[in-house]
Structures are given as structure tokens and as C-alpha cells.
Amino acid sequence: MRQHKKRNTDRNIHYDRLYHKIAEAHGVLPDEVRNKIQETIDAGWSNPNEEIRQKQRYLFPKGKPTVEEFIGTISEYIKAGNPLLYL
């Protein structure tokens, strides 16, 4: 159980660093970066286009992802060169 908490803490630190770097590059606060990503996820999740909704269900079968789940999943697909993202 303790190791699981440490892994989540390490992951949170990773995302905090990511938000900070993006925020610094754009002259905004890290919370603004995370909030904007969340707004984008929310807007995309309410897209009525059935093709988009199918891709969302494929990528996120449990439903609308958190910001961290979204970044993690999308980054894995990009690293793998998955063509699903390029359609």
C-alpha cells in the first residue's frame, strides 16, 4: 500500500513539473494550465460528432478522464505512433 502512494506522489510531482514548465513558457500560472486542459477535455467530451465520441470511448473506456489520465493516455499513443490520433 505504501509503495502505491509513493508512485502516485511521484506521478503528481511529474505533472506538477509539467504544468509549471508549460505555465512558465506561456507566462501563466500552473493552475491556469491545468484548468485550461480540463476545460478542453470537458468541451471535447460534449462533442456530438459520433466519430469523435467513438474515439473517446476507445481511448477512455471508463468515461471522461482526469487531466492526468488524459495526458498519460494521449502521450502513450503519441509515443507508440498510434494512427488513431491522426485520423
Average pLDDT of the segment spanning 46-65: 92
| pLDDT surpassing 60 at residue 4 | no
Rounded to whole angstroms, the Cα distance separating 35 from 16 reads: 13
How high does pLDDT run on average in the chain? 85
> What is the tens place of the pLDDT at every residue in 57-81?
989 999 999 999 999 998 888 888 8
